[in-house]
Structure 1
Amino acid sequence: MLIPVINRSTHLLPAYQTAHAAGMDVRAYLPEPVTLRPLQRALIPTGLFMEIPEGYEVQVRPRSGLAYKHGIGIVNSPGTIDADYRGELKVLLVNLSDEEFVVQDGERIAQLVVARHETAVWQEAATLSETTRGAGGYGSTGVN
């Protein structure tokens, strides 16, 4: 699948790091480093603008290494970039650790996953079909 992209950064385009990876690493594009204090969040630019095909989205997900080693996540994870969005891709990072973290220009800050989606149409109904689970919610399928 080809996705048109404008790269206004000085970095390479997002890329898969291994042959079977689902996500492509995307890099920060910063004029100067950004320091995230504990529990602080910041919108980090990438310099990328894209034209996602209709019927697809690009999901923005945390990088497991940043999460594990530094407690860095994404506030609205996974974030969604819709096919009709033409603005710059920015990543909403959050520091969930108890130490400051400095985001450097060119650092891999998130991964992008291209995913197909359906467009749903709601159909109002008076009843729903029965299932074994029924209305069991949070934790209802666990073993006691």
Structure 2
Amino acid sequence: MKIRLLYPDSTLPTYAHETDSGMDLIAHEDVLIPPGEWRLIGTGIAIELSPLTEAQIRPRSGLASKHGITVLNSPGTIDEGYQGEIKVILINHSSQPFDVTKGMRIAQMVIAPIVRPPIQVFRGELVETSRGNGGFGSTGV
């Protein structure tokens, strides 16, 4: 994967530990998020993904547990062909305003392989399973 720094003061994402699956994304701007609202936060980077991979943008557990801040469309998907600035939609679920400051670790980015199976129209019955069409809450609360 290639990472392009869009500004002279952009910060590369980093892995906090050598065995981490996600690298921390860093805010490139100061943004206030009022309670119950969300904001788009720029990171100052763009990426070039390897073929058949995607980048998933996920919340940081510390921001969620300590401040009620999470990624609104979690996980956010960055497709292989997108090369614009990586931005993160953060939402404030707390009752207090939250200040995102430039240089703050705001999300994690995980690079994952993707599968693009061929799609075939099928008009018959699907193979029966034990679950069948049981959906949300079908196994209890």
CA distance in 2, matches of 1:37, 1:12: 25
How far residue 64 of structure 1 moved from its aligned partner, in angstroms, is 0.4
What is the identity percentage for the equivalent residue pairs of Structure 1 and Structure 2?
46
RMSD of Structure 2 on Structure 1 (CA): 1.2
Secondary structure at the aligned position of 1:68 is classed as helix
Determine the structure 1 residue equivalent to 2:47. 50
Match of 1:5 in 2: 3
CA contact (8 A) 2:25 2:109 kept: yes
**Cα separation, 1, equivalents of 2:20 and 2:140:** 31
- Equivalent residue for 2:82? 85
Q: What is the deviation of 1:11?
A: 4.3
Q: What is the aligned partner in structure 1 of residue 67 from structure 2?
A: 70
Match 2:100 to one of 96, 103, 115 = 103
Unaligned runs of 5+ in 2: none
Q: Kindly indicate whether the alpha-carbon contact (under 8 Å) linking 2:11 and 2:44 is maintained by their aligned counterparts in 1.
A: no
Deviant stretches of 4+, over 6 Å: none
Gap regions ≥5 residues in structure 1: none
Aligned residues: 139
Counterpart position of 2:22: 23
Q: Partners in 2 of 1:16 and 1:5 — Cα distance?
A: 14
TM-score (norm 1): 0.92
Q: Cα deviations across residues 23-53 of structure 1 (Å, max 9, x unaligned)?
A: 10010001xx211110111110001011111
